[in-house]
């Protein structure tokens, strides 16, 4: 997707006002405040100049102010409806706001103007993947690569999509093609490692080490290579070197993030103070009465994908994906969780209905129940109980050392900022258990807990209890979940296409000597697992 800082665009800047040239150069150098200063000064004198409006929209997008960017781009298109570059930028901004269906509508208009632009087709393929139109996405990627085959990042995206639909060998081939074209592309090495089924060869490990040794390796490539080498060496039993790479990758990633574990702790404190038995009793019978949503939540890497796959093997339950909508709705006015007491009965019902409306685009069958498996929804359980009081809520829980170390080994495509430090992780897990324990007390029976180790030890009994909580009859297909064919977009995609296994419960043990900061942060939560400390 073209931006104002493309070199080809800069070469044409001579026709523009010197302030716009200065702004473009500042953006190219990453000096966003300086670029914004030039653009705002220019727009005071020339408020209708669409090129400057588009550039200011990119400034807003660069710093994550996507709503501001969207408003500016819509203003540019209002002034100049044929401004294709602005429309393409609008599609990208909509995509980044998880509004893929709207992005696709804009891209259709853009591609009508520039049907041979591979960047636009690539974005549309990604948007198709976001709404579950995987075959359409694969077709688009094939078209893009047929026209322009030497694009390693497109080959990588193609591999992601093939993996998602279960075409594992084709996905690996696409990843290998990307590596052939760009051996230093760390994300594709990590994508292979993240399949959990690929065993790297000596040549692979040498290639990754060579890439890390290169002086021009970008930070993003470097930490992806560290995570991939950590996995490769773990598979070989080289624990010390493996942990060194995991630690290095996490440290690099953590340095990029503005994450404060105290913010989650404070949110949990506020939620516990708000979510009293009286609070829920006063709002009984309110909200949207729909019964179709099933929320599977908890820590990432705790078995939520396994629970989803088991449920989605039932004839009445559809698996979707990790939907972004619940956090977006809860935080819509910027006051969560202090806004919860102010919600009226009408607002609670309307917001529950809005969740259903937003999730509809992900539903591909007429099954009466569907799953949202965003793990981070644990923080929004009190809100879910207000707006969708009849929804089912399943807490997927796993031993804190196994769960947290699995997160430490994982580089997430987005989010999960807590997972790049053992101490941050322990504090996050502790806060999660603290809130869920409180909700168990004030709303007993509202949340069903699936303990991963119990699921491994007695799968049938746990599956029967899970289905009973969801209000559906037992079906044998739920025990053969690994045979269920459906798209899976999470890091556990290949693991849940295999029978249940015990290895995941033991993987942390060789690394026990390195986990002191995690143990200290977990405190008594570690000793009481799977229960919460009695003092809570």
The pLDDT tens digits for 182-191 are: 999 999 999 9
Question: What was the pLDDT predicted at 40?
Answer: 92
pLDDT band for 381, please (50, 70, 90 cuts): very high
C-beta atoms surrounding 205 within 10 Å: 16
Pairing of strands 317-321, 369-372: parallel
What would the two tokens of residue 302 be? 């705790």
Alpha-carbon gap, residue 191 to 177, rounded angstroms? 13
The pLDDT tens digits for 193-229 are: 999 889 999 999 999 999 999 878 899 999 999 999 9
The pLDDT tens digits for 144-174 are: 999 899 999 999 999 999 998 889 999 999 9
Q: Where are the alpha helices (DSSP H) in 303-421?
A: 304-312, 325-330, 345-359, 381-387, 400-408
Question: What was the pLDDT predicted at 140?
Answer: 93
pLDDT reading at 14 higher than 50: no
pLDDT reading at 6 higher than 50: no
Interval 132-138 mean pLDDT: 91
The pLDDT tens digits for 460-499 are: 999 999 999 999 999 999 999 887 764 555 555 445 445 5
Q: Where are the alpha helices (DSSP H) in 100-167?
A: 100-113, 118-130, 134-147, 152-164
The structural domains of the chain, with segments of one domain joined by +, span 183-256, 261-528
The pLDDT tens digits for 58-82 are: 999 998 899 999 999 999 999 999 9
Output the CATH code of domain 261-528. 3.40.50.300
What would the two tokens of residue 533 be? 């400390």
- Is the bond leading into 530 cis (omega within 30 degrees of zero)? yes
Q: Which residue has the higher pLDDT, 413 or 345?
A: 345
Q: What is the pTM of this model?
A: 0.84
pLDDT band for 504, please (50, 70, 90 cuts): low
Question: What was the pLDDT predicted at 9?
Answer: 44
What is the share, in percent, of the chain residues with pLDDT greater than 70? 93
pLDDT reading at 432 higher than 90: yes
The pLDDT tens digits for 283-334 are: 999 999 999 999 999 999 999 999 999 999 999 999 998 999 999 999 999 9
């Amino acid at each position: 997707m073209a931006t104002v800082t493309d070199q080809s665009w800069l070469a044409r800047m001579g026709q523009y006002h010197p302030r716009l040239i200065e702004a473009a150069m500042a953006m190219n150098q990453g000096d966003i405040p300086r670029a914004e200063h030039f653009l705002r000064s220019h727009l005071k004198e020339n408020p209708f100049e669409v090129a400057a409006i588009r550039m200011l929209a990119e400034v807003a997008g660069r710093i994550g102010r996507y709503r501001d960017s969207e408003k500016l781009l819509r203003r540019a298109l209002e002034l100049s409806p044929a401004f294709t570059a602005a429309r393409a930028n609008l599609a990208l901004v909509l995509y980044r706001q998880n509004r893929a269906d709207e992005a696709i509508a804009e891209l259709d208009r853009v591609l009508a103007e520039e049907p041979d632009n591979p960047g636009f087709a690539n974005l549309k393929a990604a948007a198709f993947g976001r709404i579950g139109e995987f075959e359409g996405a694969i077709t688009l990627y094939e078209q893009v690569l047929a026209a322009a085959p030497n694009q390693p990042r497109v080959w990588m995206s193609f591999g992601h999509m093939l993996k998602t639909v279960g075409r594992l060998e084709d996905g690996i081939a696409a990843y290998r093609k990307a590596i052939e074209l760009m051996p230093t592309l760390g994300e594709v090495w990590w994508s292979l490692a993240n399949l959990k089924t690929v065993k790297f060869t000596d040549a692979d490990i040498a290639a990754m080490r060579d890439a890390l040794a290169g002086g021009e390796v970008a930070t993003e490539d470097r930490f992806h290579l560290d995570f991939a080498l950590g996995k490769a060496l773990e598979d070989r039993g080289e624990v010390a070197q493996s942990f060194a790479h995991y630690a290095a990758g996490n440290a690099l990633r953590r340095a990029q993030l503005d994450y404060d574990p105290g913010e989650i702790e404070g949110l949990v404190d506020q939620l516990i103070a708000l979510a009293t038995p009286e609070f829920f009793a006063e709002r009984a019978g309110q909200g949207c009465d729909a019964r179709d949503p099933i929320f599977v939540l908890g820590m990432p890497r705790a078995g939520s994908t396994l629970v989803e796959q088991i449920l989605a093997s039932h004839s009445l339950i559809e698996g979707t994906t990790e939907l972004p909508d619940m956090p977006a709705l809860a935080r819509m006015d910027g006051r969560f969780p202090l806004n919860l007491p102010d919600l009226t009965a009408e607002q609670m019902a309307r917001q529950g209905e809005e969740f259903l409306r937003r999730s509809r685009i992900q539903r591909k069958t007429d099954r009466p129940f569907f799953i949202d498996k965003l793990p981070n929804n644990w923080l929004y359980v009190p809100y879910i109980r207000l707006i969708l009081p009849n929804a089912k809520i399943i807490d997927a829980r796993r031993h804190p050392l196994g769960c947290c170390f699995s997160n430490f080994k994982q580089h997430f495509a987005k989010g999960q900022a807590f997972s790049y430090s053992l101490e941050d992780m322990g504090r996050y897990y502790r806060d999660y258990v603290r809130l869920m324990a409180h909700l168990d007390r004030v709303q007993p029976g509202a949340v069903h807990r699936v303990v991963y180790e119990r699921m491994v030890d007695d799968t049938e009994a746990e599956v029967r209890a899970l289905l009973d909580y969801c209000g559906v009859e037992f079906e044998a297909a739920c025990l053969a979940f690994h045979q269920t064919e459906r798209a899976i977009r999470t890091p556990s995609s290949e693991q849940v296409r295999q029978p249940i296994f015990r290895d995941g419960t033991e993987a942390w043990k060789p690394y026990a000597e390195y986990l002191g900061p995690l143990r200290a942060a977990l405190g008594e939560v570690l000793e009481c697992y799977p229960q919460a400390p009695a003092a809570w």
